[in-house]
Structure 1
Amino acid sequence: MVGASMVQSDAQVVPHPDEVMGSLLARRAWRAAHNTASFVKAMGLPWDVWCRDIDRSVNSLFLDKVAEGLGIERECARAMTVNTFLSKCGVPVQAIGFEPWITYVGLVRWKRIRYGQMYCCGCLDCPDRYLCRDWRIASNWLCPVHSLPLQDCCPKCGKPFTPYRDDELVMARCGRCITSLAGHDQQPVSDEELELHRHIQSLWNDARSGRPGPLCALYRHLSEVAVYDPRFALAGEHWSYWRTWERAALLRSQEGFITRLASHPSRGALVWCGYSRARDLSAGPKRRAASMPIDPQRRAQLLLDLARRVRWPRRSRARVSR
């Protein structure tokens, strides 16, 4: 247990209430003058733990070793995963596979080929920088502390933000072009966007207090709009996979619905209908086979309606970094 005692010797780096697990490991490794691979090896963990999305979920063995190595309680370590936060809000979670509300980083070995990890250039400009849990939630697109839009890549070369590779988090710089990720001159978000963000956060607060109905209704509504609205039909994949600015456009387009849902006096009594489907089709008519209409105008309108529902192929060139 020499390695564990060495890891526990640094008690100055304490976890923040909204910090994810990988962020604390990276900050402790930097303070102990270790790289991330050798730091977790001292805990009895293999180096390839960084090839997994440990910010999303971890198994019991990993949780025990991290809690013992960092000298923190097991429940505190468990609370540093996004799945723990989502489960408290009534969102169904699992170890692998698709989950509602979470953004995806596309881990391939040490690389992240998707733009799911967001960051705030104002927060990274602080001395005690860390990764916030809200930067992996799909409903967030701005930082309420600095009133700045969240970023998901290097502003110069466009590489996805990889906080645990090449010390990008602790150095606040891009690992490819060495461009600083902190303190950029950005246009602050408007007061209307901040108000919309507060409405969405009120739905999250209701879900944490045991009333997940409004949050589930918002998720189902956004999923339905992203699939059937012609403005977003070309995305070709679920809206939680979109870039930050695309999800922001989706949320801004539904500002009226979000405001009515958040300000409704009886929103707490909204029945929780589950996350399994984007919309409830049980009350609708059953699917049946029908012949094409004879009228050419009606036939053309039917074909256009069918074309709007087609799920287009993923735009890999826009999703995957070069």
Structure 2
Amino acid sequence: MVQSNSLLAPHPDELLGSLLARRAWAAAHNPASFVKSMDLTRDVWSRDIDRSVNATFLEKFAEGLCIGRAQLDAMTVNSFLAQCGVPVQAIGFEPWITYVGLVQWARKRYGQMYCCRCLGAPDRYLRRDWRIATNWFCPEHSLLLQDCCPECRKPFTPYSNDELVLARCGRCAASLCGRESLSVSGCDLELHGHLERIWNDAFAGKPGPLCALYRHLSEVTARDPRFARAGEHWSYWRTWERAELLRSQEGRIMRLACHPSRGALVWCGYNRARDVREKPKRSTSMPTDPQVRAQLLLDLARKVRWPRRSRARVSQ
């Protein structure tokens, strides 16, 4: 196995894939050949290693990067969420994380956010907060986070075509740091402070407010007419859509963050919120008359509300 002799040290809030991409660039490798030198196949990049990494990959990465396994595991989003009391799993739906829609190497969804000013820095890297669903702006520069190329609107794919290390789009070669984003308002800064307080409570062993906020947001998106045609769980929404949702619930977020007894809130579980518009199901037998049965099925079909899946959230 070839070990990485690069002196590039991981940042405290850096994602695992970001470190691999930076080490590969410093060693004059592309990401595929770099992981191959660690006795791994290029299939590593067809998995969301920023979310979680299995024990085999973790051992190979630790040996190749000369970094401890515990430190590498802490560079995944699941490690942070687990410390906040959030149930995590390797694949499938998971609370609070944004989804990138990996299909082999391609990313079909707009789940990877970035700050154009941060990518303009010489030592650019991906922050862990850029995969958390409650973030929509960079607190360091007070700029809205982006999730696509400003020119061709392709999702940001940091590990494909060196998009991260070059800070340019792999499709149209447009600069990802050349166009300034919109500044955020004072209300957004205050709201972000409340959310950060809730996350800090969860990290300190008090996950009750964070869990209550998740269940509240899920129930609001199920019954609020403003989000009736969203079609998907709010974790799949674009950055600006999630920002609109959080702004609409500023009062509830502030109460959860500032209530004196917020640390005493009981952890109530992360079950996906049931649609409150649904009525309890009743077990009834079908009529024997074919005409009556057909009419009943037609009446039932008229009541079905087919969810609308927004194509704007999936890249073509």
Same fold (TM over 0.5): yes
**Aligned to 2:159, what secondary structure does the other structure show?**
coil
Correspondence for 2:159: 164
Aligned residues of 2:100 and 2:107 also touching (Cα < 8 A): yes
The letter for the 2-side match of 1:249 is: E
Residues 24-43 of structure 1 mapped to structure 2, 5 A cutoff: 24-43=19-38
Correspondence for 1:10: 6
d(CA) in 2 for partners of 1:186, 1:57: 30
Correspondence for 2:58: 63
**Aligned to 1:123, what secondary structure does the other structure show?**
helix
d(CA) in 2 for partners of 1:311, 1:20: 37
Aligned residues of 2:147 and 2:156 also touching (Cα < 8 A): yes
Post-superposition shift, 1:289?
5.0
Residues 114-140 of structure 1: CA distance to partner in whole angstroms, max 9, x if unpaired? Answer: 000000001101110000000000011
Correspondence for 2:290: none
Residues 76-225 of structure 1 mapped to structure 2, 5 A cutoff: 76-225=71-220
Is 2:231 aligned against 1:236? yes
d(CA) in 2 for partners of 1:206, 1:250: 22
Post-superposition shift, 1:10?
1.1
Correspondence for 1:299: none
d(CA) in 2 for partners of 1:280, 1:213: 22
Correspondence for 1:293: none
Identity %: 70
d(CA) in 1 for partners of 2:275, 2:313: 30
Aligned residues of 2:218 and 2:273 also touching (Cα < 8 A): yes
Aligned residues of 2:98 and 2:111 also touching (Cα < 8 A): yes
Correspondence for 2:293: none
Correspondence for 1:263: 258
Aligned residues of 1:142 and 1:148 also touching (Cα < 8 A): yes
Post-superposition shift, 1:311?
5.4
Post-superposition shift, 1:187?
2.2
Cα RMSD of the aligned pairs, angstroms, is 2.0
Residues 72-103 of structure 1: CA distance to partner in whole angstroms, max 9, x if unpaired? Answer: 11100000110000000000001111000001
Correspondence for 1:296: none
Give the 4+ runs in structure 1 shifted more than 4 A: none
Correspondence for 1:319: 313
Residues 238-257 of structure 1 mapped to structure 2, 5 A cutoff: 238-257=233-252
d(CA) in 2 for partners of 1:197, 1:190: 11
Post-superposition shift, 1:278?
2.0
5+ residue gaps, structure 1, are: 291-302
Aligned residues of 2:110 and 2:147 also touching (Cα < 8 A): yes
The letter for the 1-side match of 2:271 is: S
Residues 36-69 of structure 1: CA distance to partner in whole angstroms, max 9, x if unpaired? Answer: 0000001111111100000001110100110110
The partner residue of 2:280 within 258, 266, 287 is 287
Change (3 A) 1:58 1:77: same
What is the TM-score normalised by the length of structure 1? 0.89
Aligned residues of 1:221 and 1:279 also touching (Cα < 8 A): no
d(CA) in 2 for partners of 1:267, 1:311: 38
Post-superposition shift, 1:186?
2.5
What is the TM-score normalised by the length of structure 2? 0.90
d(CA) in 1 for partners of 2:96, 2:137: 16
**Aligned to 2:170, what secondary structure does the other structure show?**
coil
Post-superposition shift, 1:287?
2.9
5+ residue gaps, structure 2, are: 284-298
The letter for the 2-side match of 1:192 is: C
d(CA) in 2 for partners of 1:241, 1:165: 21
Residues 118-177 of structure 1: CA distance to partner in whole angstroms, max 9, x if unpaired? Answer: 000011011100000000000110100000010000011000000000000000000011
Post-superposition shift, 1:279?
6.4
Aligned residues of 1:233 and 1:311 also touching (Cα < 8 A): no
Residues 248-280 of structure 1: CA distance to partner in whole angstroms, max 9, x if unpaired? Answer: 000000001101111101100001101014269
Post-superposition shift, 1:288?
6.3
The letter for the 2-side match of 1:61 is: T
d(CA) in 1 for partners of 2:105, 2:233: 24
Aligned residues of 2:6 and 2:27 also touching (Cα < 8 A): yes
Post-superposition shift, 1:313?
2.7
Change (3 A) 1:249 1:280: closer
Post-superposition shift, 1:182?
0.6
